[in-house]
Amino acid sequence: MSAVSVNDVSVAFGSLKVFDGISLDIEEGEFVVLLGPSGCGKSTLLNAVAGLIEVEEGQIWIGGNNVTWEEPKDRGIAMVFQSYALYPRMSVRENMSFGLRMAKTPKAEIARRVERAAELLQIAHLLDRRPDQLSGGQRQRVAIGRALVRDAAVFLFDEPLSNLDAQLRNELRVEIKRLHQQMNGTTMIYVTHDQIEAMTLADRIAVMKDRRIQQLGTPHEIYHRPANLFVAGFVGSPRMNFIEGRIDQGGEGPIFRSGALALPLAAEHAPRALETGRLVTLGIRPEHLALDPAGPWDGFQAELLETHGADNLVWCGNGQVSLQLRLPGDVSLKRGEMLTLAPDPARVSLFDSESGERL
Amino acid sequence: MASVSMAAEAAVPRTRRRWNAAASLALLPAAVIVLVVYLGCMVWTVRLSFSSSKLLPVLDWVGVRQYSRLFANERFLISVENIVLFGVLFIAGCLVLGFLLAVFIDQKVRSEAAFRTIFLYPYAMSFVVTGLAWQWFLNPTLGLQKIVRDLGFESFTFDWLVNQDMVVYTLVIAGVWHGSGLVMCILLAGLRGVDEDLWKAARIDGIPTWRVYLSIVLPLLGPMIVTAVVLLATSVVKLYDLVVAMTHGGPGIASEVPAKFVMDHFFERNNIGLATAAATMMLISVAAVLAPWVYARYIRPQGRRA
Amino acid sequence: MTTSAPSGRKPRHLTVDRIGVYAFLAIAAVFFLLPLWIMLMTSLKTMEEIRLGSIIAFPSELTFEPWLKAWASACTGLDCNGIRVGFWNSVKILIPSVALSIALGCVTGYALSFWRVKGANMMFGILLLGAFIPYQVFLYPLVRIFATTGLYNSLACIVIVHVIFGLPVMTLLFRNFYAGLPIELFKAARVDGGGFWSIFLLVILPMSTPILIVATILQVTGIWNDFLFGLTFAGRENLPMTVQLNNIVNSTQGERTYNVDMAATMLTAIVPLAVYFVSGRWFVRGIASGAVKG
């Protein structure tokens, strides 16, 4: 039984359909991240799960119950928002206990839960302050605390770290991950446009674009076996290199060819649909291109060098194709230097140029 | 306002002030108005209140004699009593009705624009028109009383307009009718500015809507409520047209107000000394209300920053 | 999952809450519309029907006579030329007052926002406080000043008074609007060699259309609705419509003709109401900007 399941759900704003039959099943205790550019519908999907947006068609199940028509408070969920959404003019303690007080929870029980959440999030010393006396990071901790006291089985996060600066974001990201590990069996759904958050937090990522789930998979799958050109280009920084070309027939099987560049394709790509002459796009990540004087791709000139410390990025081109490569930090190059590259044929991705789908 | 002026100052780097002839010239008319009218006339009025001026201004000095006369003047005392009663009820009435209207309109109702238009249109009309309309509506023989009697309640009486004890309340009703649209307008803008996530959080916490408005939204509207109160309060102090048109201070002197007291003594009763003394009292009461507000808003925040 | 399980849109029931919301709004709408309705109905009835019938009822016999009478022959004391006299006086007062007060407010606001003049902030502070002080504090000395200069009780006098007392709000309105413009714009114009007036006319003024509209709406309704200044400064020959209306209604000798009174009242309300209905959101914006006063 899934902890959360979205069955064929459609959402409409007026006459404008936002989703048309979207489905998603999430296991108990799983951490699922909805990742995508703004406007892709990830927040709308989360709001539909929360019951903050009414669905037009389909069903939403949480914890084995059909909650499609339930009020948000009755769905057994808790939610954390980008703007923190703390109740102003209420102390941290009141913020965390307001919902429980409304639900007529016994006082002792409220105190116990607030205590526990505050301890878990290290905000016990802030309990009597008011939101406007807190920093951004502290506010978001309180907002998470307010969600914690609800003792919900499912946690929903709507871009919770987007309003924070980079360092706090990293800190709180780790905190959320730790929280998930400590709370055994708690399911979390997390919306973000930040791929690092998605990669680091998720058990599974649902990459979304144009109100569709483009790919649902583990971070490893998403990164190494992107389902289409969009996923391949969206996840990974620096971006995956794309080379337009066609399939050719070589001595030992199909070859990818683009101008002067050729690459024998690994066995795993063959023999599916690799008929000769088919237009394809080859995708290769910058770290899967090595410098090798014996490599097959020569004639590349280093155009731009970027030092990142742990590694270096190199922009290079051969007049037709521009490629980025990621080299270890101790390799030093000069601008204008001629390079010979060796792609790792086992780690390239092939996409149909027309449909953009993975082959 | 405060934030706006601060932003402007922050944006203009503190370059050396160059004297600009054209800019100074452009500010000259405003400067003359401030000096001559806002400061000069004010000082002049205060000065006259210590003189024995009657029909014409004289610059002798009689100390606070005009003030002791003023506070022995029944007409003035009634005026003060009326304006306090009117002020409290009018401001409270406008705030409560305006807030309710804003909240109910905020419930995603159909034809929201039509309701908004209906609730605000009185504010576009003058107090003279408002006063005459309500004078007719509350007419003790042909107005509201007759409508209700025609419905079968033969003994219904509504004669507030000619009842010395009740006439102030008719002014309040007309005033609230005129002004609550303004409050609605200001508060509705505030409601629309409330972070949508806050509403979502409250729904997930299962907090009833009325409770969200009371415990969460209302405190957020604080600055807008202050703005509304300040605007309403200024119209209370200036209350004149409505009284002249609706009751003319009557019956008897039952609905006199300070502004009318001053005007009558300037231009009809030719008692400049007494009129300026009453005007000075109005000035003092406004200053008493304004001072804490100016202090809280402009002086204290700057002190804290320093 | 059976087909009867909850799926798709939750069926909507007309809840008690919804009915309550609309009931409240409807009752409020009646409260707000009733005076207008009664004025209109009364103005379309004969005096006989008014005496006998109910004031909320629709006229059994529609007559436009009261409107004609109110416009052309209603009496103020002994003059029986109708409220049109006041209407045209108000128009004569309105046009120069609106134009001059906006022009002065606009230039003052511009100078205050972009230029540094010694003492300007002090002046602006006093001006703002002046907006809260009851007019009665200034009136008598002003009358003396105008009497000395020979302007008292003239069209020029009432126009000047409107400019004086419109100055705080107008200045604030323009100053706040200009404070919201990017200062870089002004700096760029300075670097390009613009002076005070050339920057104002070529850069700032063309961007001011929205605030000019708001200012016009505020001033047209404000000045049209004025009673106090018109009464005090305009003089017998130039009494504005509001003052004349009050004289017609409240100082009638003998029996009052309610239908004519209400027609005259409606006529006086028409200009601001028209501005209100035509300008819609702009009017609201005007209120909001005026509200910034606080």
| A293 and A145, same domain (yes or no) | no
In this structure, what token pair is assigned to residue A174? 């780790």
Spatial contact of C115 and B23, defined as CB atoms under 8 Å apart:
yes
Q: Domain of B258?
A: 46-305
Same domain, C21 and C147: no
Among B99, B294, B109, B88, residue whose Cα is nearest residue B186: B99
Place of tokens 């390009």: C192
Chain C residues close to B7, C-beta within 8 Å: 179
The pLDDT score that the predictor gives to residue A1 is 66
Instruction: Say what the pLDDT of residue C243 is.
Output: 93
Beta carbons of C242 and B142 less than 8 angstroms apart: no
Q: Is the pLDDT of residue A220 over 70?
A: yes
Return d(Cα B200, Cα B215) in angstroms, integer. Answer: 15
A181, A212, A234: which is the final residue of a domain? A234
Number of domains in chain A: 2
C contacts of A66 (beta carbons < 8 Å) = 1, 5-7
Spatial CA neighbour of B223 closest among A45, C294, C209: C294
Question: CATH code at C223?
Answer: 1.10.3720.10
- Within-domain flag for A22: yes
Question: What rounded mean pLDDT belongs to chain C?
Answer: 88
Q: Are B215 and A87 in contact (CB under 8 A)?
A: yes
- Specify whether A74 is located in the same domain as A151: yes
Residue C203 inside a domain? The answer is: yes
Q: Looking at the complex, report in whole angstroms how far the Cα of residue B191 sits from the nearest Cα belonging to chain A.
A: 14
Q: What is the pLDDT of residues C92-131, one digit of tens each?
A: 999 999 999 999 999 999 999 888 888 888 898 888 888 8
Is residue A114 in some structural domain? Answer: yes
DSSP 8-state secondary structure symbol assigned to residue C57: S
Chain B residues close to C265, C-beta within 8 Å: 129, 132-133
Q: Give the mean pLDDT of C252-272.
A: 88
Range of the domain at A282: 241-352
Whether residues C9 and A58 touch (CB distance < 8 A) is answered with no
Decide: A317 and A301 in contact? Cβ < 8 Å.
Answer: yes
Q: How far is A57 from chain C (nearest CA, A)?
A: 4
Residues of B in contact with A99 (CB under 8 A): 204-207
Q: Which of B5, B20, B150 sits opposite C196 (nearest CB)?
A: B20
Name the pairing type of β-strands A297-307 and A338-343.
antiparallel
C28 with C107, same domain: the answer is: no
Structural domain includes residue C68: no
Suggest the residue from A19, A60, A61, A66 to mutate for an interface test with chain C (most C CBs closer than 10 A).
Answer: A66
Tell me if A357 is assigned to some domain.
Answer: no
- The DSSP element (H or E) to which A241 belongs, if any, is strand A241-250
User: Quick check: is A266 in a domain?
Assistant: yes
Burial class (CB in 10 A: 0-12, 13-18, 19+), C114: buried
DSSP assignment letter at C294: -
Residue from B205, B213, B217 whose CB has the most chain A CBs within 10 Å, to mutate = B205
* Inter-chain touch C242–B129, beta carbons under 8 Å: yes
Cis before B57 (ω within 30): no
* C68 CA: distance to closest CA in chain B (Å): 19
DSSP state for residue B119 in the 8-state scheme: H
A359 is a domain residue: no
User: Within a domain: residue B143?
Assistant: yes
Query: Could you tell me if C153 and C221 lie in one domain?
Result: yes
Whole-angstrom distance, CA of residue B291 vs CA of residue B289: 6
Same domain, C94 and C22: no
pLDDT for residue C293 is more than 70: no
**Count of domains forming chain B:** 1
Same domain, C170 and C122: yes
Do B83 and B258 contact (CB within 8 A), yes or no? yes
The shortest CB-CB distance from A77 to any of B195, B204, B215 is to: B204
pLDDT at B223: 85
B79 in a structural domain: yes
Shared-domain flag, residues A148 and A170: yes
Same domain, A200 and A72: yes
Tokens in use for A224?
A: 């190494």
CA distance B141 to C204: 58
What does chain B come to in residues? 306
Q: Is residue C3 assigned to a domain? A: no
Q: Which of B125, B130, B133 sits opposite C273 (nearest CB)?
A: B125
Contacts of A54 in chain B (CB under 8 A): none
Query: Closest Cα of chain B to C47: distance in Å?
Result: 12
B19 part of a folded domain: no
User: For residue A68, which residues of chain C lie inside 8 Å, CB to CB?
Assistant: 5-8, 10
Is residue C59 domain-shared with residue C89, that is, in the same domain?
no
Q: Is B207 in Cβ contact with A85 (below 8 Å)?
A: no
Q: In terms of DSSP H, where are the helices of chain C?
A: 16-43, 47-52, 65-72, 84-114, 120-130, 136-149, 155-179, 183-191, 196-199, 209-224, 228-233, 241-250, 258-279, 281-291
Domain, as residue range, for C54? 16-63
Say if C50 falls within a structural domain.
yes
What CATH number does residue B238 fall under?
1.10.3720.10
**What's the mean pLDDT in A80-89?**
91
Using an 8 Å Cβ cutoff, are A214 and A231 in contact? yes
pLDDT values of chain B reduced to their tens digit, one per residue, 306 residues: 333 333 444 444 444 445 578 888 999 999 999 999 999 999 999 999 999 888 888 888 888 889 999 999 999 999 999 999 999 999 999 999 999 999 999 988 888 999 999 999 999 999 999 999 999 999 888 888 888 888 888 888 888 888 888 999 999 999 999 999 999 999 998 999 899 999 999 999 999 999 999 999 999 998 889 888 888 988 898 899 999 999 988 788 999 999 999 999 998 888 999 999 999 999 998 888 888 777 776 666 554 433
Inform me whether the C-beta atom of residue A54 falls under 8 Å from chain C C-beta atoms: yes
Q: Give the mutation candidate from A10, A59, A70, A71 for the C interface (greatest C CB count, under 10 A).
A: A59
Residues A33 and A111 both lie in one domain:
yes
The predicted pLDDT at position C200 comes to 93
The answer to whether C294 faces chain B, any CB pair under 8 Å, is yes
With beta carbons less than 8 A apart as the criterion, state whether A153 and A126 touch.
no
Chains adjacent to C (≥3 CB pairs closer than 8 angstroms): A, B
Residue A140 predicted with pLDDT over 80: yes
Tell me if A149 is assigned to some domain. yes
Does A79 reach chain B within 8 Å, measured CB to CB? yes
Chain B CB within 8 Å of residue A87 CB: yes
Could you tell me which residue, C287 or A57, shows the higher pLDDT? A57
Same domain as C165, residue C245: yes
User: Does B189 reside within a domain?
Assistant: yes
Contact B49, B279 (CB under 8 A): yes
For helices B222-237 and B167-192, angle between their N-to-C axes, nearest 10 degrees: 150
* Domain match, A53 and A194 both: yes
Last residue of a domain, one of A234, A254, A273: A234
My answer on whether A41 and A120 are in the same domain is yes
Is residue B12 in a domain?
no
Report ipTM (2 d.p.). 0.90
- How confident is the model at residue C285, as a pLDDT? 80
Q: What pLDDT is stored for residue B67 in this prediction?
A: 93
pLDDT of residue B226: 87
Do A88 and A19 have their domain in common? yes
Taking only the tens place, the pLDDT of each residue in A4-33 is 999 999 998 878 888 888 999 999 999 999
Strands laid side by side in the A65-66 sheet: A16-26, A4-13, A57-62, A65-66
A158 pLDDT tier (thresholds 50, 70, 90): very high
Do both A267 and A312 map to the same domain? Answer: yes
**C146 and C272 inside one domain:** yes
What's the gap in Å between the CA of B289 and the closest CA on chain A? 26
A191 and A284 fall within a common domain: no
Indicate if A229 and A250 belong to the same structural domain. Answer: no
- B205·A150 Cβ contact <8 A: yes
Can you give the pLDDT at residue B11?
45
Domain at A205, CATH number: 3.40.50.300
CA distance linking residue C278 with residue C271, whole number of Å: 11
Angstrom distance (rounded) from CA A19 to CA C11: 20
Task: Give the model's pLDDT for residue A268.
Answer: 64
Tally of domains within chain C: 2
* Of the residues A234, A267, A299, the one at which a domain ends: A234
Nearest CA among A342, A310, A347 for reference residue A323: A342
Q: Does B129 reside within a domain?
A: yes
C91 with C179, same domain? yes
Q: Tell whether C188 is covered by a domain.
A: yes
Helix C281-291 crosses helix C258-279 at what angle (to 10 degrees)? 90
In this structure, the strands spanning A31-35 and A204-209 are: parallel
**Does residue B31 sit within a domain?**
no
Tens of pLDDT, residue by residue over A38-74, are: 888 899 999 999 999 989 889 999 988 999 998 999 9
C261 has a pLDDT exceeding 80: yes
Contacting residues of A for B201, CB less than 8 Å apart: 79, 81, 85-87, 143, 146
Average pLDDT value for residue range C52-58: 84
Q: Tell whether A212 and A251 lie within a shared domain.
A: no
Q: How much is the average pLDDT of A255-277?
A: 76
Residue A68 forms contact with C (CB below 8 Å):
yes
With bands split at pLDDT 50, 70 and 90, how would you rate the model's confidence at A272? Answer: low
Residue B198 lies in a domain: yes
Distance separating alpha carbons of residues C35 and C167, to the nearest angstrom:
33
Given strand A279-284, what is the order of strands in its sheet? A261-264, A253-258, A241-250, A279-284, A349-352
Highest mean pLDDT among B146-155, C46-55, C140-149: C140-149
d(C-alpha C272, C-alpha A191), whole Å: 51
Q: How confident is the model at residue A270 (pLDDT cuts 50, 70, 90)?
A: low
User: Among all residues of chain A, which has the CA nearest to that of B202?
Assistant: A99
Where residue A257 sits, what CATH number does that domain have? 2.40.50.140
Is the bond preceding residue A238 a cis peptide, omega within 30 degrees? yes
Is the predicted pLDDT of residue A87 greater than 80, yes or no?
yes
Tokens at C10, concatenated: 């939750």
C55 lies in the same domain as C90 = no
| Domain presence at residue A358 | no
